[in-house]
Structure 1
Amino acid sequence: MEILTLFLVALVALEHIGIAVLEIFAAPEKQAAAFDMSLDFVKQKNAQTALSNQGIYNGMLGLLILAMILFFTGPVLKTIMILLMIYIIVVAVYGAFTATKKILYLQGLPALIALIFVLVFYK
């Protein structure tokens, strides 16, 4: 079950890298649809800058999670996974209140499932 747990945490990481790609490189039409924003808003230079900035954070978070899986083991890895999954859940809850409720399900739920697996199955 530890392998499955690491796989779920890695999926959370890959999801954040995918979100980063959308935020940084996707066409405004895809960004507007993906993030429940109006196309007129997303086409604005300031919105593109903000999305790119947010994309860097998501991408680096995804890379950090993957690196942590590769470089740490045992109780240290478990602690880091717990902290990062809680971080993602808190950010998803905030995003659900301030942006769109879909963030809670698309980002928060996978992190919650991964957190449960870490707590229950990772030694």
Structure 2
Amino acid sequence: MEILGKILVGLVAAEHLYIMYMEMFAWETLGKKTFKGSLAPELFKPTKTLAANQGLYNGFLAAGLIWSLFIEDHHWSFYVAIFFLTCIIVAGLYGAVTASKKIFYVQALPAIVALVVLHLK
């Protein structure tokens, strides 16, 4: 179960690296495809800086999860992963309530699954 937990933490981290890339570097291309229908096409250019700022935060979340995978002390690694997964869950819940229900399934649910698996050790 420990290996599965680490794999899931790694997958959530990879997802947030992807989100960081999209929001920071590909907002007007990949972001436009991803949020088609949610945001008017003419708003991508003026919101580019806002999206980049958001992407930076997603990068920090990914960095924290990746860091947790390299910590040798089991307890310390566990608590760092819990902290960053919880941050992602809270952000996903907030996004689901304020922006789109889809955010729950894309962002919060994978982090919830990883958090549950980490606790099953």
Tell me the alpha carbon deviations over residues 71-96 of structure 1, each in whole angstroms, 9 at most, x when there is no partner: 24311111222222111111101011
Within the candidate set 44, 48, 52, 1:42 is matched to 44
**Structure 1 gaps, min length 5:** none
| Match in the other structure for 1:32 | 32
Matched, 1:116 2:94: no
1:29 Cα offset (Å): 4.0
> Which stretches of structure 1, 4 residues or more, deviate above 4 A after TM superposition?
none
Tell me how many residue pairs correspond in the alignment: 119
Q: What RMSD in Å do the two structures reach over aligned CA positions? A: 1.4
| Match in the other structure for 1:69 | 69
Matched, 1:53 2:79: no
Q: How high is the sequence identity, in percent, across the aligned residues? A: 37
Q: Secondary structure at the match of 1:37?
A: coil
Structure 1 Cα separation of the partners of residues 78 and 27 of structure 2: 37
What TM-score does the superposition give when structure 2 sets the normalisation length?
0.90
1:113 Cα offset (Å): 0.3
| Match in the other structure for 1:11 | 11
Task: Judge conservation of contact 1:29–1:39 (CA < 8 Å) in 2.
Answer: no
Distance 1:73 1:52, change over 3 A: same
Q: Secondary structure at the match of 1:100?
A: coil
Tell me the alpha carbon deviations over residues 60-111 of structure 1, each in whole angstroms, 9 at most, x when there is no partner: 2112210221124311111222222111111101011111111110010100
| Match in the other structure for 2:87 | 87
